[in-house]
Structure 1
Amino acid sequence: MADTHEEDLPTFEPLPWSIKQIRDAIPPHLFVRDTPKGLYYLARDLLLASLVWKAGTFIDPFFRSDDVRTMMSPGASHILRWFAWCLYWWFQGLIFTGLWVIGHECGHSAFSSHRSVNDSIGFVLHSLLWTPYFSWRISHHRHHRNHASMERDEVYVPKTRSDLGIPKAPAQDIDWEHYLGDTPVYTLYMLIRQQLLAFPAYLLWNVSGQKNYPRGTNHFLPNSILFTRDQAPLVMASNAGLIATAYLLRSASLRWGAAAVLKYYGIPWLLVTHWFIMITFLHHTDPELPHYRGKTWTFQRGAAATVDRNFLGWQGRFFLHDVAHFHVIHHFFPKMPFYHGPEATEYLKAFIGDHYHYSEKPVFQALWDSYNQCQFVEDEGEILFYKDRRGRAVRKPAAVSARATSCDALGEHDTRSLALDPTSPKDLVA
């Protein structure tokens, strides 16, 4: 329901170009995958993880030694020991996340032009980081194929007014506190819960996933609605990878102790889930980004409904392989290697102009703001923008007559891309 304040909002026109036109604006060499270069980044990350791991083995012996305790005092050495562990967890968490990103590249066949290389490396990396490689790859490809579609997207599907039980009435007549008025402390609790548990909850119970899926939808049952009958062996292989990881961790716990496994591996892994959820949430959740219904949605409009962010500055660029800094180009061309993202983004920005979204806002502030400002979308309308805790949007769609339908915007190349099997190694548009 439109309110008076919406009359003064900036008007949004949906992206008018076909994916072929956008692709043609980017030099062909940026789509080339270089297997040796991908292996270099993999080796670099593994070396960094090993060095940080080795450094971690000196923390307890050093700070618990009699000489250090005498020199610093027991209290100071205890505080500095835990500070050193925090440094270990921070950097090892980032390095592990970078390895997870390489597995994600493999899932898109962006790591190598050889499918066996992609699947071998991706399967091992994701299994060791508690991600069912093939199962998640299937649903993640479907997310890319349908991003920002209210009816078909796989994850971060907005809640609607009716989902939250908010009545259709003028904004000034609604008790917003009753429906959305969480206290800052409760909001902080919900954010922490989201950051640490959202990915396992999505895999296990489809939390934040497509609302049209039946209860019990998850990534571990071969007969889940997420998969076809032919994909059942891939689901079982993914499960086997996680079982192998569980066996390795049990063996490590029996040999070195559960506390050691938790310190060296468990907490960095928990930070992987945090960084991954924070990155993806901020990519797809912002009051400036549209969602679409029906034929107004196209693949390229969904790809443009993402935002690049300056995520942790140089640390995000180095350790996370630019996954957050150059995500928009990834949604347009998922098979493009991450190391071509910076250059390709410049060509994309020059071509699509204001349809490219970028934010310099500090990411923890952005997380808080997006969580509070992106509460729901309306039950009606073809182009939708999030509304905040007072029912206010920051943009409004142009008149229906000014919009192109999917048939207007899609060329022959685009139509083929939408029909791809989500498990295919072929790119959505390449």
Structure 2
Amino acid sequence: MDKLKPQDWIPLIKPYAKPNTLRSLRQVADTLLPLLLLFFLAHKALSLSLLLTLALDMVAALFLVRLFILQHDAGHGSFFPKRWMNDLLGFFTGVLTLVPYHHWQLSHARHHATSGNLDKRGVGDIYTMTLEEYLKATPWERFKYRVYRNPFIMFFIGPIYVFMLSYRLPLGYGSEKPSVRNSVALTNLFLALLLAGIVLLFGVKTLLWVYLPIQYLAGMVGIFLFYVQHQFEDAYWEHDPRWEHLKAAMEGSTYLKLPKVLQWLTGNIGFHHIHHLAPKIPNYHLPKVQEEVDLVKVAPTVTLKDAFQIAFADLHLHDEATRKLVGFREAHRRLRQKAARA
């Protein structure tokens, strides 16, 4: 891999970067229609059992995750051959997923361009400090970072903050652009109309026990998937100018090998290494690339069990000396050693 140049590997994957309009439309149908049906069934189940309602919410949340993957493909221009088709789908699915399409699209493109780059962290990613940065930080800065990286905060509070609060405001990367601000405002307008429609047609109880839990659970799954596909012990990190796109994809992203049902429900996002290598490949072609292109088989494979271990492991700081993620225990051990020598 060290010797491969773009002209060596791009021809291997380029044939797969062609969307099929009929197949894409079929994905929209087999995702959106079950989602709407599950929402209606969960609404009806409120009169029978709250537990049954929440169970249906969980299944619906997985379909909402799948819908986001379609929005995600549209954001890369890989779902339909025409830009306007991608943008139309992206905007309206963004209302359903709470993710303002153009705002997210801009920061996510930055994530792809800088993933694993130590000099360009902090946009569209889960921020990772280096061990040296943490050791030099003030106690308050270290405390804030520990809170941010705490699994409870990340996976249980994160969905509320990210999807329900922060995406309602045109903040952060690209917020000065009128297209981003307009995207957020228009998404919020359509979202307000959607919420009003749910209350009028189904009632406040459905909003509280069906709509909001579906959004919350989908957000939790989404953050979990994104986290475990980049935050593993041997994840690739490098400074400019040594940073390489191919290595960032193959060594900085995992192949999350999920059971077939979950692979389908998550829109093949487990083939994350391939997606980072070539984001123009539609999600439905990713399994074929994994099967047919030897180049992508070097990426670290992670099972669902491994993913849960990664999510709750003490791996939060990149140690540039060992080129591995280490934990707060190691950092605090070094801080104690430093204090003892002082």
Q: CA deviation at 1:131?
A: 0.7
Count of residue pairs brought into register by the alignment: 323
Of 296, 308, 317, the residue aligned with 2:255 is 308
Task: Give the fraction of aligned pairs with identical amino acids, expressed as a percent.
Answer: 17
Q: CA deviation at 1:300?
A: 1.8
Match of 2:303 in 1: 360
Match of 1:373 in 2: 314
After superposition, residues 41-52 of structure 1 pair within 5 angstroms as 41-52=27-38
Match of 1:146 in 2: 114
Q: CA deviation at 1:330?
A: 0.4
State the secondary structure of the residue aligned to 1:295: coil
Residue pair 1:15, 1:300 contacting (<8 A) in 2 also? no
Of 311, 320, 331, the residue aligned with 2:266 is 320
Deviations 1:196-235 (A, max 9, x none): 33356457999xxxxxxxxxxx8843xx662286x32243
Larger radius of gyration: 1
Match of 2:50 in 1: 82
CA distance in 1, matches of 2:153, 2:193: 27
Residue pair 2:160, 2:216 contacting (<8 A) in 1 also? no
Q: CA deviation at 1:15?
A: 4.0
CA RMSD of aligned residues (A): 3.1
Deviations 1:255-283 (A, max 9, x none): 53322112221111111111110000011
Q: CA deviation at 1:372?
A: 2.4
Deviations 1:67-124 (A, max 9, x none): xxxxxxxxxxxxxx23312320111010111111111111011110100000001100
CA distance in 2, matches of 1:42, 1:225: 30
Pair 18,252 (structure 1): closer, same or farther in 2 beyond 3 Å: same
Match of 1:18 in 2: 5
Residue pair 1:150, 1:157 contacting (<8 A) in 2 also? no
Say whether residues 1:114 and 2:114 are aligned partners: no
Pair 253,148 (structure 1): closer, same or farther in 2 beyond 3 Å: same
Say whether residues 1:385 and 2:310 are aligned partners: no
CA distance in 1, matches of 2:5, 2:180: 33
Amino acid at match of 2:156: L
Residue pair 2:43, 2:53 contacting (<8 A) in 1 also? no
CA distance in 1, matches of 2:165, 2:203: 31
Residue pair 1:219, 1:226 contacting (<8 A) in 2 also? no
**Larger helix proportion, structure 1 or 2?**
2
Amino acid at match of 2:10: R
Q: TM-score, normalised by structure 1?
A: 0.67
Unaligned runs of 5+ in 1: 1-13, 64-80, 168-177, 207-217, 393-430
Say whether residues 1:351 and 2:295 are aligned partners: yes
CA distance in 1, matches of 2:202, 2:55: 22
